Homo-oligomer: A and B are copies of this chain.
Amino acid sequence: MAVSTMSITHLPATSQPGSSRFNVVHAIQQAIHDHPQANNRAARLAESLSHLLHLHIEPPSSSSHANNNENFNSDLLISDYEQKHSTPPMSPKEDISQNWREIQGLSSNWEGLLDPLHPWLRREIVKYGEFAQATYDAFDFDGFSAYCGSCRYNKHKLFDKMGLAQHGYKVTKYIYAMSHIELPNWLERSHVADTWSRDSNWMGYVAISDDEETRRIGRRDILVAWRGTVAPCEWYEDFQRRLDPIGQKEAKVEHGFLSIYTSKSDTTRYNKTSASEQVMKEVTKLVKFYKEKGEEVSLTITGHSLGGALALLNAYEAASTIPDLPVSVISFGAPRVGNFAFKDELDQLGVKTLRVVVKQDLVPRMPGLVFNEALQVFDEITGTLEWVYTHVGAELKLDVHSSPYLKKGINLIGFHSLETYLHLVDGCLSSKVPFRVEARRDVALVNKACNMVVDELRVPHCWYQLANKGLVCNEHGRWVKPKREPDDVPSPTREAHAHAHAHDHIDNEMQTYNVNVIRPLCTT
């Protein structure tokens, strides 16, 4: 394979002045975008700094909402947005039971469905994206919490708490991965001593479609959702820039991703088995259970950012080890993961990957992005050979400029945010047509963790936050952090126990809905 045929340019990220400068611009920009509240201190800081550093930073202002719709009218936009406040944020669900193979990319690799974007596919992409979003929204980021790095809710509550119950899935298992010392900034670690785990992070979950959803989508869908990282700038510089072999052939994947997926240690509470082993054991069990019932079964793996990379590794393993299982990956803003041989093997295994990519997002261009094209000459080709990564599957390309609801200034965090992705999918008609006016998803969600919505709509920036950061005033008038509900405190023994009895639950449900007598699975 000749290097010259590849459309990938790459220079390793460095800590040279150029890339530092890049990060500073970015960080300043974020400071401007994220903290306009209270006294605008951050914005002033940013202004002073940009002045000091002789950088030109676009300030956030109402004039920054340039947009591509020529007939765009700010008042119309506001009134449309406010009118939608009293309508549900979702259209009625279609019955896709006859078309699910197409929608999962199994029959035609999504050919003809992406541009224009088929409305049934659009809805499924948003559904899977919202499952990935839940891995962020439920995650405990509080470094002062003894549960930092865990999910704030147990698996039975998760979808209710995240407002996702209407999607018709049930969580069957949580996945934990080791928070690596060799990757200091990728995963979260509590600052406190007596933490639930010093070694592991909640990294996602396995869920299964319920009977009603199963009827609508034409098969029993096993879902795996992988958590990514919130701020990609935290980890892209940490790429180990090392490709490790996966499988038995030539396929290689990025060392850091593989390490998160496969690491385990007997001294940990949650990673005596690796994320890979946890997820594969659960998926294998569910496949066996439903296939033995004669049901059609699919596996859909989703994830954003780092989570999209893990989804691909997971898909590779599932397709390699479980025969006759249709495997689809719906990833959002995922970086490249492996080499050409990895892509070829995925194709041979029949893994279908739909990569949803925002044109302005830098993360899908990593590893391999030339950070400082203007500042640095190309490395010798020989120096870059080791760094050859390629994307796999089909791509759904989105454009921030298509939405009249979004600011157009450079905002790397905003461009990469999963909620921005979901907003753009929801509004996507085709590459030629602007944002669809019938889009019903709540625009306010975009600003949960960034500042992308035009100021006219008055959606606060980074608004997804706990009241008083979780402190409550106790009966004595003191502000304290309440203890977690006991059943939301991570516990490997309780989770293993609950899991051992999960089949009884599945049985009961099946009996309720299907009036079938089901042979219990042997626990392995």
Contact = CB atoms under 8 A, between A and B. Distances in A.
A403 to B, nearest CB: 17
B468 A463 contact: yes
A58 B480 CA distance: 28
B41 A234 contact: yes
A38 interface: yes
Contacts of A144: 455, 458-460
A321 interface: no
A36 B143 contact: yes
A30 interface: yes
B87 A476 contact: yes
Interface string A438-453: 0000101100010000
Interface string A230-259: 110110000000000000000000000000
Q: Identify which of A30, A143, A478 gathers the most chain B CB atoms within 10 Å of its CB.
A: A478
Interface in A27-74: 27-28, 30-31, 36-42, 44-45, 48-49, 51-53, 62
Contact of A53 (B52, B468, B478, B481): B52
Interface residues of A, number: 68
B459 A468 contact: no
A89 B477 contact: yes
Contact of A469 (B44, B445, B460, B478): B460
Given A45-B27, A460-B469, A444 B479 contact: yes
Contacts of A52: 20, 24, 53
A234 B37 contact: no
B23 A48 contact: yes
Interface string A134-147: 00000001111000
A88 interface: yes
Contacts of A437: none
A45 B28 contact: yes
B478 A444 contact: yes
B42 A31 contact: yes
Interface in A468-492: 468-471, 473-474, 476-481
Interface of A: 20, 23-24, 27-28, 30-31, 36-42, 44-45, 48-49, 51-53, 62, 84-90, 141-144, 163, 185, 191-192, 229-231, 233-234, 442, 444-445, 449, 455, 458-460, 462-471, 473-474, 476-481
